[in-house]
Amino acid sequence: MNLKEAQALLKRYNQEHLLEYYERLSDGEKQQLLAAIAEIDFSVLENLDFGKERSLGVLSPADALTLEEIEAKRGEYEKTGLEAIANGKVAAVLLAGGQGTRLGIDAPKGTFNIGVTKTLSIFECQMRNLIAVAKRAGAYPHLFIMTSTINNAQTVAFFEQNAYFGYPKGKVHFYVQKTAPAISTDGKILMEETYKPVLTPNGNGGWYSSLKEAECGRILDKENIEWLNVYGVDNVLQRICDPVFVGATIASGAACSGKVVRKVSPEEKVGVLCKEDSLPAIVEYYEMPDKQKTETDGRGRLVYCFGVILNYLFGVEKLNGIYKSKLPYHLANKKVACIVGGKKVVPEQPNGYKLETLTVDLVKLAGSCLGFEVVREKEFAPVKNATGVDSVETARALLEANGVEL
Ligand code: UTP
């Protein structure tokens, strides 16, 4: 792209300020800036909902298989699930492209040492759980790991240094997710340097389209993988490729399924599995109207009670039918270091937005979703913050309660 083309493009999207410092740049920096502009998908800036609340359709509570119902059929589900894993029909997808700004470490979140007297990374906690399943099934599922341009090299190096935690290296495949520009509160793309726009990971919703376009997509097709268990890096008790979950999903005929826990209070900050206009939908805690948030049944239990824990199983055939649909971009209000008046500023308060697509929007597109209840104390120990709620401290306590030596 040459300067003239860049000027025309930026004018169309009202982003001419990206060239503000152009004349002062070295030739190399000029080239770098023009190349970066050429790479940006400016269409993501269209239809952004600044300050608008998402208008929700008609909400109703979603059903989920309860603990009792699962227990009654555990043997049957487990057998189906183990068979599918043994036959190579199930693979895992780890979402590790996030920046973990709330935890505040300058490294991929999965490398964080959750151990106390010994070293135990978040990645290792999760890999141990996956290895346990692989041993029972007699087969190691393929594991796709989504990273970002920011943390890919460090993530790959960490797996190398740790000999893949005992997992067969040939079954682990990394791929890099796409980026989106970060913007100011008035919609202008922020600059990281005078010659470099801020590009950040574009949320976890694009995990399948990025996977398909990478070498991983070829592996998926060649191996005839039918189910993908996608999960977040945050949860140190994450059960991956859980055979009972896999078996129950296959038996249900649903296009996808999601593990859920019962909310502990109306205010708990988890997305809730609901139905919106009869379709499965996950309504984020900040979007849920008070009426539904606090509604209780005759026994005083929350009606909208099933919180999601970022552990979903998606049928590949369904994903292939929906992944090209445009997912909406959500505005995540964050602190973004950027150039102001020619100088680098590291803000103390959120000063802009990162643009993110979300996996929850894929659930809606899938059309049907089986909720699958799990015991939160056994499967949900999120590490979002350094201290307080959903923190390193709370996750350590839950790991110990589950017999993990720290
Ligand atoms: P979060 O929503 O907690 O975001 O991610 P985050 O970026 O990790 O953390 P904060 O908000 O900056 O503190 C939930 C899951 O989605 C993944 C994360 O790695 C985590 O497993 N994720 C998030 C991606 O893979 N890519 C993204 O662009 C964002």
188-221 confidence digits (pLDDT tens): 999 999 999 999 999 999 999 999 999 999 999 9
pLDDT at 357 over 80: yes
* Pocket probe mutation, ligand 1, options 95, 238, 353, 392, max atoms within 8 Å of Cβ: 95
Q: Which atom of ligand 1 is nearest to the CA of 103?
A: 13
pLDDT at 361: 92
pLDDT at 101: 82
Task: Please give the mean pLDDT across all residues of the chain.
Answer: 95
Give distance in angstroms: CA of 300 to centre of ligand 1: 34
Give distance in angstroms: CA of 129 to centre of ligand 1: 21
Q: Which atom of ligand 1 is nearest to the CA of 334?
A: 12
Closest Cα to atom 25 of ligand 1: 97
Q: Which atom of ligand 1 is nearest to the CA of 234?
A: 21
pLDDT digits (tens, 9 = 90+) for 287-309: 899 999 999 999 999 999 999 99
Q: Which atom of ligand 1 is nearest to the CA of 102?
A: 13
pLDDT digits (tens, 9 = 90+) for 166-187: 999 999 999 999 999 999 999 9
Give distance in angstroms: CA of 350 to centre of ligand 1: 17
Closest Cα to atom 28 of ligand 1: 203
pLDDT at 52: 67
pLDDT at 49 over 90: no
Averaged pLDDT, 103-124: 95
* Pocket probe mutation, ligand 1, options 234, 282, 353, 387, max atoms within 8 Å of Cβ: 234
* Pocket probe mutation, ligand 1, options 102, 105, 179, 204, max atoms within 8 Å of Cβ: 204
Closest Cα to atom 18 of ligand 1: 98
Q: Ligand 1 pocket by C-beta < 6 Å: which residues?
A: 95-102, 109, 146, 177, 201-204, 232-234, 310, 356, 384
Give distance in angstroms: CA of 307 to centre of ligand 1: 17
Closest Cα to atom 2 of ligand 1: 98
Q: Which of 91-95, 130-134, 337-341 has the weakest average pLDDT?
A: 337-341
pLDDT at 32 over 80: yes
Q: Per residue, what are the HEC states of the chain?
A: CCHHHHHHHHHHCCCHHHHCCHHHCCHHHHHHHHHHHHHCCHHHHCCCCCCCCCCCCCEEECCEECHHHHHHCHHHHHHHHHHHHHCCCEEEEEECCCCCCCCCCCCCHHHCECCCCCCCEHHHHHHHHHHHHHHHHCCCCCEEEEECCCCHHHHHHHHHHCHHHHCCHHHEEEEECCEEECEECCCCECEEECCEECEEECCHHHHHHHHHHCHHHHHHHHCCCCEEEEEECCECCCCCCCHHHHHHHHHHCCCEEEEEEECCCCCCCCCEEEEECCEEEEECCCCCCHHHHHCECCCCCECCCEEEEEEEEEEHHHHHHHCCCCCCCEEEEECCCEEECCEEECCCCCCEEEEECCHHHHHHHHCCEEEEECCHHHHCCECCECCCCCEHHHHHHHHHHCCCCC
Give distance in angstroms: CA of 196 to centre of ligand 1: 23
